[in-house]
Structure 1
Amino acid sequence: MAEPDSDDSLNPMSILIDELQNEDIQLRINSINKLSTIALALGVEKTRSELLPLIIDIMYDEDEVLLALAEQLGTFTPLALVMITLCHAGEDTSWRVRYMVADKFTELQTAVGPEITKTGLVPAFQNLMKDYEPEVRAAASHKLKEFCENLSADYRENVILTEILPFSQELVSDTNQHVRSALASVIMGLCPILGKDNTIEHLMPLFLALLRDECPDVRLNIISNLNCMKEVIGIQELSKFLLPTIMELAEDAKWRVRLVIVEYMPLLAGQFGLEFFDAQLHSLCMSWLVDHVYAIREAATNNLKKLVEQFGKEWALATVIPRVLTLSEEPNYLHRMTTLFCINVLSEVCGQDITTKHMLPTVLYMAGDPVANVRFNVAKSLQKIGSILENSTLQTEVKPILEKLTQDRDVDVKYFAQEALTVLFLA
């Protein structure tokens, strides 16, 4: 019997190596598809000892080939692809490749299993989290929660605390806001994994730092996921840490800092619930209605609609509307105008009955205000809420007041009163 042909030129691995060395970049890229078959034929040991060193040596600094390799991870997960990509994850190659590695990292994790994850992927993930390209750091940050969830239970907590969170702490103060935003979108998901004590000790400082972040998306992502922490440590523990930070932001001398917490109050209220809000945050929300900065007053006014949508009309009637109506008696005319602005937004969610019985009388009363700015805002408010009032109310209560205002000594008051009459009665 003839001896088997031992010519290396017919050896599939030799053919693959030749193709990877070919000057035609497309041929080299296409040869990647053959790695699965070759790796399976060789087995794990030979793949590691024979195939990988050759391929790594050939493909080092070949960005196009590496890019194609990373793209293949969406459909291929053989050991050869995984290990080659891992070897290059922290190397100084194209950032596009490292980005793809980060984006597919949990697929790598699933492919290699828990042991290789612990010894190989954890260091590689650390490298991606500290990569010098922000796009790569952001991609890795997005995968943080999923990567940690997929760690084997016997070493998960220790790896997170000792090898993942130290890098996460650096990302909290990353110079790129997209990196911080990516981290903020997932970091709270570690709470159920780490438990109450570890959450308070290790995650709470990160949470509070991100809550103070200058980027709106970062703050929004943190507050949107607040429920994850609340379920783990309880609302009382959470409020103990959170309320001082909220008060610090709410009382900051810089109005733009105050505006940060004002704008997110409805979201916070939804996370905490009615009982907590009434006890801890309601008074703070109402105090913003008389802030000396218009932007704060405006944001606080707009919040009322969102809060009533969450907690209901009866809650508004019992706790919000009485406070709003008392502003109509304030010496500062700006505060009296805030009453009208609040009524405008509250009428939309409180409906005809509450508006007619509880808020309309105050608007009509304020038509006699000594300040013209208040009077013409009365006309504008009557036009605004008139659309939800019954016709009989419009005819008997609203129309006479508007007609009186058309005779006002101030031209602006006349103008807005006439406009309201036109819209409500002549349109």
Structure 2
Amino acid sequence: RNQNCRQVAETFANCANFHLVGLISMAQADEGESVFPIAILIDELKNEDVQLRLNSVRRLPVISKALGTERTRNELIPYLTDSIDDKDEVLLAMAEELGKFIPYVGGPHQAGCLLSPLESLCNMEEGVVREKAVASLNGIAKELPSELLQNDYITMIRRLARQEWATSRAAVCHLFHTPYPLLSEALKTEFRDMYAKLCKDEEPMVRRAACSNLKNFVAVIKNRIMVVNVFVPIFTEQSKDEQDSVRLLSVENCIALGQALGNKEQVQQHILPVVKNYCIDKSWRVRYMLADHFTGICESMVEEVTQNEMVKSFIFLATDKESEVRTSIAYKVYDFCVLIKTEQIVKDVLPIICELVSDQSQHVRAALAKVIMKMSSMIGKDNTINYLLPLFLTLLKDEFPEVRLNIISKLESVNEVIGIERLSKSLLPAVVNLAEDKQWRGGGGPLKEKPPPAPPPG
């Protein structure tokens, strides 16, 4: 026991900034066999071996239990704060563990001590470390009592927002929305002002962070007038940012704002013009992002706007000069058609689908082949026979194997609409030809994996 006590004392003596007062009595109060492993864990916090340090950080709850809540607050947390100079994997683990540390420091009323090390982690260069620190801070904010939240937590946010380092200002952009509903009106105004300033930061890194969190901030704003007066102007500016990395992040914010505004007039006035600008953005990455989120944006709008206006944007994207954009929107053909009327599908969308079927990019054709068969149930038997069957047959004869496989794998969708007899006459001969193609069958047997639907008994 005496030897274990000396080892514990020596361990803490070798750990800079750790107080020794009372450690011997702590060791004497515990059983020797439980003290020694704790001593090893503490010693490994400063070990040269990264893996040992990482293991020790992951066992911080064990260390804190041995120390008790008071000693954890007064000694372990300050020590960790002074030790924020380590490998990224160690700091990542520390950021994660500290987010779960409220019980080990004495509960929510004592949780203010956790803010300092997490604030330091928000300054780190590595993005995943900052993200984990932000996630932990947001979790802690939900449990803090009002006094700590409106004093210590808000003070920390002010410091981060004023930091010279762009990493800190980028991190703080993700810390506004969680405490916002719990604040006084004066602090809410201050938060909106701080956020608006960060949206205009000179560093693209900060503007990207602010833009990516707009949807979360808007989600906690219950006042529609405030959304229009404060957040719509911010969104509009972000959609025009000189950096395409900011503009493409702003695309997803159409969904949050469309839901927040909620009525036809507001959406037509504030969201639709931005969507139209995205369609002609000079960066293909922005147009691709619009195509990728297209149905989500449509769903966030009132039905009338989608049916009257978004069809034009869909056609624009489907004829984009970049194949990546056309591929992305081709995947959305079915999901978009669900949102519009059958007459519009036949009149406006089917002509575009005809063009995509013969698109020069095999990836566009493969994307279309993956979803086009499901359209049969939407437009009915007659329209399927008149318009879609010729397109199915064209895709079934495509030179690119993935296109053919995507069609074959969805034959049952058409069978349910037009019946096995018509399907047999129209498409199955082409399937049989493929089955007899040695090169096709030799590639791994797609036809074996997904045979055409069998005729009913008799």
TM-score with structure 1 length normalisation? 0.62
Of 229, 234, 245, the match for 1:201: 229
Aligned to 1:34: 70
Q: Is 1:159 matched up with 2:185?
A: no
Residue correspondence of structure 1 range 261-280 to structure 2 within 5 A = 261-280=290-309
- Structure 2 partner of 1:255: 284
Contact residue 90 and residue 127 of structure 1 kept, 8 A: no
RMSD: 5.7
Distance 1:367 1:103 in 2: 51
Aligned pair partner of 1:222 in 248, 253, 261: 253
Q: CA deviation at 1:406?
A: 11
Which one has the bigger helix percentage? Answer: 1
Structure 1 unaligned segments of length 5 or more: list them. 1-18, 38-54
CA distance in 2, matches of 1:406, 1:89: 62
Tell me, yes or no, if structure 1 residue 146 matches structure 2 residue 207: no
Change (3 A) 1:267 1:361: same
Counterparts of 1:19-418 in structure 2, within 5 Å, are: 20=19, 22=21, 33-34=69-70, 63=82, 72-74=101-103, 76-77=106-107, 82=112, 99=133, 102-103=137-138, 106=141, 109-112=144-147, 117=150, 120-130=152-162, 140-153=172-185, 155-167=186-198, 169-170=200-201, 173-174=204-205, 179-180=209-210, 183-192=213-222, 195-196=224-225, 198-210=226-238, 214=245, 218-219=249-250, 222-227=253-258, 229-231=260-262, 234-309=263-338, 311=339, 315=340, 317-327=342-352, 334=359, 342=368, 345-351=371-377, 354=379, 356-362=381-387, 365=390, 383=408, 386-388=411-413, 389=415, 390-399=419-428
**Does the 8 Å CA contact 1:77/1:108 hold for their aligned counterparts?**
no
> Does the aligned pair in 1 maintain the 2:163–2:169 contact within 8 Å?
yes
Aligned to 2:13: none
* SS of the residue 1:260 aligns to: helix
Unaligned runs of 5+ in 2: 1-17, 24-38, 44-62, 85-93
Distance change (3 Å), C-alpha of 1:21 and 1:320 = same
Are the equivalent residues in 1 in contact too, given 2:115–2:137 (CA < 8 A)?
no
Aligned residues: 370
- Give the aligned residue type for 1:244: P
Bigger-Rg structure (1/2): 1
Q: Share of identical aligned residues, percent?
A: 10
1:270 CA drift (Å)? 0.8
Q: Take 2:80 and 2:425, find their aligned partners in 1: how far apart are those partners? A: 83
- Deviation per residue, 1:334-364 (Å, 9 max, x gap): 399989975762322543x846421333455
Shift of 1:127: 1.4
Aligned 8 A contact 1:263 1:300 in 2: yes
How far, CA to CA, are the matches of 1:368 and 1:31 in structure 2? 73
Structure 2 letter corresponding to 1:323: D
Residues 274-319 of structure 1 show CA distances to partners (whole Å, capped at 9, x for unaligned) of 211012211220233333333332222211112234x3xxx45221
Counterpart-to-counterpart distance in 2, 1:292 and 1:107: 47
Q: Deviations over 1:120-156 (max 9, x none)?
A: 5433212134557777666644431122211124x24
Q: Is the 8 A contact 1:89 1:128 kept in 2?
A: no
Distance in 2, matches of 1:199 and 1:426, equals: 56
For 2:147, give the aligned amino acid. Answer: V
Take 2:279 and 2:273, find their aligned partners in 1: how far apart are those partners?
Answer: 10
**Distance of aligned partners of 1:71 and 1:402 in 2 relative to their CA distance in 1, 3 Å threshold:** closer
Partner Cα distance (1:132, 1:23) in 2: 40
